[in-house]
Amino acid sequence: MQTETHNGTPVLNAVKAAGEACVIPGASLLLDGNIKSGATHLAGAYVARALLGPIGWAYFAADSFSLSVSGKNLFTHFSSK
């Protein structure tokens, strides 16, 4: 299975990172036009924040940014060989 990479400019990646950190988790996916995945990350972040606190919120933000920039989930980056 080939993964699709979304190589953007450093400025676009900085805007995506700022959106994840300052606005909402899923912002980078929403900027890419991936509404379904962005909304799923946002809903998951609210649930994770209720259960795990800010760590859950930060995980969903990092996962969304990772998926937007590299096409892989955060867990896949750490579990792949």
The pTM is what? 0.84
With bands split at pLDDT 50, 70 and 90, how would you rate the model's confidence at 6? Answer: low
Dump pLDDT digits (tens) for 15-73. 999 999 999 999 999 999 999 999 999 999 999 999 999 999 999 999 999 999 999 99
In this prediction, residue 1 carries a pLDDT of: 42
What torsion do the CA atoms of 7, 13, 47, 37 make, to the nearest 10 degrees?
Answer: -40
Token pair of 74, please? 């955060």
Residue 72 · residue 4 · CB < 8 Å: no
Cα–Cα distances in angstroms (integers) from residue 76 to residues 21, 63, 67, 79, 80, in the given order? 21, 10, 10, 5, 6
Q: Is the pLDDT of residue 2 over 50?
A: no
